[in-house]
Amino acid sequence: MLRRYVKPVVVVALLLPWFWLGYLVYLETLQTGSGLGADPVEGLLHYLGEWSMIVLLCAFSVTPLSRQFKWPALIRSRRLIGLSAFSFVLVHSVVFAIFYAELQLQILLREVLERPYITLGMASLMILTLLSLTSTRGWQRRLGKSWKRLHQWVYLAVPLALLHLLWLRKDGYDDVAIYTLWAVVMAAERLYVWRKRQRQDQKAVL
Amino acid sequence: MLIRNPDSILGSEITPESVYQSRRQFMTAGALGLASLGLPFGASASLQQDDEITPENIVTQYNNFYEFGTGKEDPAAYAHEMTIDPWSVEVSGAANKTGTFAFEDIIKGLDVEERVYRFRCVEAWSMVVPWMGIPLKDILAQFEPMGNAKFVEFKTLYRPDEMRGQKGFFSSIDWPYLEGLRMDEANHPLSLMVTGLYGKDLPNQNGAPWRLMVPWKYGFKSIKSIVSIRFTEREPINTWKQLQASEYGFYANVNPAVSHPRWSQASERRLPSSLFNVNRRPTLPFNGYADEVAHLYAGMDLRKYY
């Protein structure tokens, strides 16, 4: 019974930060600085960046959580959460391109090449773009076994995003520490399961 | 002991808000306005036609004061926890008059002036602020610096119980905050020790009871809530340089030609900025005060001494 509600709840949860952003932008139209702060361009970029990180980590947590809590219904929302993370990353990047690179390819290229933290963010964006494009059932079928290998690139996209955040900070790493711990726990679960399987396989061989 | 706050007879009491507002418009109308008000050069010399004074609520609610947290809203939220009365200042080093002084004794008898300065943060945003303050040279002269005093070092209050940012576990800053100036920079007429803004007492989040304002340098040089002044022969360390010397130097002169390694300094977002009008403008060498201060750095490679 409860399973039926998993997806709708996930959808609503994923939409909440967008609605909140809409409300903040609405406040900005009423009075500058009232929604996104005195430097709203910066505020918008950071809001989107922060939610990119959070939702990406949520997507990264689906498999371990559904495995540990024996809750397969969650897996069916994995693509949705992943695509939602990508939407934040994409809009975050577009905001950067519009407001910071001023829609000039030359500035954008220079920033990506000259600033390592932007290079890392860009690399993460590229990976997530590829994963999003190939997230459909059609691509799953077409790629067969290599689909899983391809989507393991998320193991690179997450640390790249974390480094991107760490590198752009001047000081104050509280949230970076929390995100990193979150990612490490979810990665540790995978490592643990992987090693357990290996041991079992070895036993089976013997 | 009776401690009078000299600030209380200044600012808003002398200048009614309405008069103040109209004078503001007058001042932004052009450099001439200030000259005719009898203010010294520098207060007006480098204001440009399109320099509009940043609204007070932005100046007092959008701050970098990491002692209260790294968020821009943190200082306005938590700086009231800092006790600023009584406030004593330790003066040490190469000067004839050293020791511990009460803040109000140091500024007693010195004239407070209003100066409208452009303020450029190293993070590429900027404001235009009507500061109230005393020329730094007038304050330093009281302590009779000796000939071998080539630099002056300032230190911010260290009081973790009242400054929650100093307790942060995931922070790399080695408190207390330190800054320094070369003596000729400190004695420059533009260098101001700020005790107020907008004709009012300086709010805690802006560095009460007094903070430096060196308008041709990035904002982090303008150290807040100062408790120590030390005259020294050698260049003192400053906090941001200590944290990341490849990104923040001792001089930190505003320079559009030298990028911060992580972002360009060629332009700035003048606050208030909005999503619909970012208000981006080119950053000027020495924040537009080149005519007044460039000679201080004659012959220096500003790429090396950033």
Q: pLDDT of A110-128, one tens digit each?
A: 999 989 999 999 999 999 9
For residue B222 the two structure tokens come to: 């303008």
Cβ separation of B125 and A28 shorter than 8 Å? no
Q: What angle do CA B139, B141, B144 make, to 5 degrees?
A: 130
Percentage of residues of chain A with pLDDT beyond 70: 100
pLDDT tens figures, A12-68: 999 999 999 999 999 999 988 889 989 999 999 999 999 999 999 999 999 999 999
Residues of chain B with pLDDT under 70: 1-46
Q: Does A18 contact chain B (CB < 8 Å)?
A: no
Q: What is the pLDDT of residues B180-232, one digit of tens each?
A: 999 999 999 999 999 999 999 999 999 999 999 999 999 999 999 999 999 99
Segment 113-132 of chain A within 8 Å of chain B by CB? 114-115, 117
Interface contacts (A, B; CB < 8 Å): 72
Q: Is some CB atom of chain B closer than 8 A to the CB atom of A176? A: yes
Phi, psi angles (nearest 5°) of residue B9? -95, 5
pLDDT at B41: 46
A37, two tokens: 């702060």
pLDDT recorded at residue B44: 52
Residue of A nearest to B58 (CA): A38
| Residues A112, A135: Cα–Cα separation, whole Å | 26
* Two tokens, residue B53: 């004074």
The 10 Å Cβ neighbour count of residue B170 is 14
Task: Report the residue of B56, B171, B274 to disrupt the A interface, i.e. the one with the largest count of A CBs within 10 Å.
Answer: B274
Q: What is the DSSP letter of B133?
A: E
Q: Give the integer Cα–Cα distance in Å for B216 and B284.
A: 10
DSSP A78-129: HHHHHHHHHHHHHHHHHHIIIIISTT-HHHHHHHHHH-HHHHHHHHHHHHHH
Report pLDDT for B45. Answer: 54
| Ramachandran quadrant class, B69 (left: phi over 0; alpha: psi -120 to 50; beta: rest) | left
Q: Is A50 on the interface with B (CB under 8 A)?
A: no
How far is Cα of residue B58 from the mean position of the Cα atoms in its chain? 16
CB contacts of A42 in chain B (<8 Å) are 125, 269
Q: Helices marked H in chain A — which ranges?
A: 3-30, 40-68, 78-95, 105-114, 116-133, 137-143, 145-151, 154-168, 174-205
Q: What is the pLDDT of residue B168?
A: 82
Task: Say if CB A55 and CB A88 are below 8 A apart.
Answer: yes
Length of chain B: 306
* B168 in contact with A, Cβ within 8 Å: yes
Q: Does B282 touch chain A (CB under 8 A)?
A: no
pLDDT mean over A179-206: 92
**Do B275 and A36 lie within an 8 Å CB cutoff?**
yes
- What are the start-end ranges of the H helices in B148-228? 183-186
User: For residue A56, which of A167, A186, A170, A203 has the smallest C-alpha distance?
Assistant: A186
Of B66, B274, B278, Cβ closest to residue A171 = B66
Query: What's the predicted TM-score (pTM) here?
Result: 0.86
Domains and CATH numbers, chain B: 7-297 (3.90.420.10)
Task: Calculate mean pLDDT across residues A133-162.
Answer: 95
- What does the pLDDT average to over A125-144? 96
Tell me what pLDDT residue A1 has: 58
Q: What separation in angstroms does the CA of B169 have from each of A174, B69, B243?
A: 8, 11, 16
A40 and chain B in contact, CB less than 8 A: yes
Which residues of B are less than 8 Å from A176 in CB distance?
A: 170
Q: By the CB < 8 Å criterion, does B258 face chain A?
A: no
Tokens read off for B177: 């905050």
pLDDT at residue A196 tops 90: yes
